[in-house]
Amino acid sequence: MHIGIATGLQHYGPDGEEADYPDGQFVREEVERWVLAEELGLDSVWLTEHHFTRHSLAPDPLMFLSYLSGRTRRIRLGTQVLVLPWHDPVRLAEQIITLDEVSNGRAIIGLGRGMAPREYRGLRIDPDAARQRYDEMLQLLVDGLETGVMEGGEFYQQPRVELRPRPGRSFKGRLFAALGSPESQRQAGRLGLGQLTTTTLPFKVPEGGLPIDSYLNAWREAHGPDTKPPAPFASSIIVVDESADRAQEIARLYGGNAQRVGIWHYQMRGRPAYGPIPAIETDEDVERMVDGFVSQIIAGTPDQVLKRLEETRDQIHPQGMFPQLFFGGMPHEEAVRNMRCFAEHCMPEIKSWPASSSIDGDATELSVGASGAGPR
């Protein structure tokens, strides 16, 4: 099984407030952890996209990953996720293709719609248009990455252009989406994307996982009843230590930080319930959500962590996992300790688990343009 790591670039102090050292120092420490991931034998690094607050210093994951591609030779480069309504379709396609070419085909692209009002407002994007922008851009992007040409759309009204550099290999099996709503599920299934999922949520997950019927039905309608979508990638938050008590303490401290800052960043207080996310009105509501979030962090000894991950494997049947091993303002030394402990005591067992893969196929070489797919 594929095993990578994810990071939210969460930069704040042990109390969840602003950190007492510069953003630049934090970013450089983050990069060194990503490089260390390859040295430890992990298979991928996945970066998020966020703007404007200490919740996440990740405004440009593709730029980070392009830099990382030059510092590494093997590790796969993932996004979880690029928020489509915040981007121009042509520029984003060009950046994705460029990353894939400079890294020799190491890109894995996760896509999503985003939901933070302050980010939409700060980027001057109307959140009421998010669904239309997402649906249209996803279609443009999937087509453009496969053909090397982008054209169309009622919202974007993109004139026909050729993307250069041309995509050198197919992105089929390497495009994934966060499937929050039935509409997103249907769009992803129809266009052939895999799914990104997480086991660490601030609310109770139904037995058998979150429903994805809309995704599976759309996939079968578009690709045939006998076909199967790519196995998903699963994220989680993990703390490994020889002492189960110490692991739980770390999870409570930094996981609690992460959830409280997340509630603040997303401006969730006073907003109505959204799907399975309950309404938050009081400090007690906040702490109830924090408790729910922390309870789902996988924290314990190596054997305890592996047992929980086996449950995830048997429930979700993923092709890979990419846990967060540093989060919530965790200091660099603690983050490295957690990475090394996980890599030494858990990773070998996880890698031995059989799993299908959609990202490690032939990576079919394309001859875009020469085959007639280029501009007319």
- Write out the DSSP string of 150-172: EEE-TTT-EEEEE-SSPP-B--T
Q: Are 37 and 86 in contact (CB under 8 A)?
A: no
For residue 316, CA distances in Å to 196, 212, 235, 247 come to: 11, 12, 11, 25
For residue 230, give the DSSP letter: P
Confidence at residue 201, expressed as pLDDT on a 0 to 100 scale:
63
Confidence at residue 199, expressed as pLDDT on a 0 to 100 scale:
86
Confidence at residue 210, expressed as pLDDT on a 0 to 100 scale:
55
Is the residue at 97 inside a domain?
Answer: yes
Confidence at residue 209, expressed as pLDDT on a 0 to 100 scale:
52
The residue with tokens 């739980």 is 248
CA atoms within 13 A on the CB side of 361: 16
Confidence at residue 166, expressed as pLDDT on a 0 to 100 scale:
98
The C-alpha R_g of the chain, in whole angstroms, comes to 20
Task: Choose among 40, 37, 38, 83: nearest CA to 58.
Answer: 83
CATH number for position 281: 3.20.20.30
Supply the DSSP string of 43-91, one letter for each residue. -EEEE----SSTT---S-HHHHHHHHHHH-SS-EEEEEEEEGGGS-HHH
Is the residue at 218 inside a domain?
Answer: yes
For residue 128, give the DSSP letter: G
The rounded Cα 259 to chain-centroid distance in angstroms is 17
Distance CA 233, CA 273 (A): 27
The reply to whether omega before 348 is within 30° of 0 (cis) is: no
Is the residue at 312 inside a domain?
Answer: yes
Task: Choose among 205, 200, 238, 266: nearest CA to 55.
Answer: 266
Distance CA 224, CA 227 (A): 6
Q: Are 362 and 260 in contact (CB under 8 A)?
A: no
Q: Are 237 and 326 in contact (CB under 8 A)?
A: no
Which two tokens mark 95?
């950046």
Q: Which residues of the chain have pLDDT under 70?
A: 201-211, 275, 361-376
The rounded Cα 75 to chain-centroid distance in angstroms is 16
Q: Are 341 and 303 in contact (CB under 8 A)?
A: no
Q: What is the pTM of this model?
A: 0.93
For residue 149, CA distances in Å to 40, 110, 133, 141, 232 come to: 39, 20, 19, 9, 28
The reply to whether omega before 165 is within 30° of 0 (cis) is: yes
Confidence at residue 272, expressed as pLDDT on a 0 to 100 scale:
81
Total domain count for the chain?
1
Residue 198, φ and ψ in degrees, nearest 5: -135, 150
Is the residue at 261 inside a domain?
Answer: yes
Is the residue at 193 inside a domain?
Answer: yes
Is the residue at 232 inside a domain?
Answer: yes
Residues of the domain holding 156: 2-351
Is the residue at 358 inside a domain?
Answer: no
Is the residue at 373 inside a domain?
Answer: no
Task: Choose among 142, 107, 280: nearest CA to 202.
Answer: 280
Q: Are 109 and 77 in contact (CB under 8 A)?
A: no
Distance CA 302, CA 138 (A): 40
Residue 109 three-state SS: strand
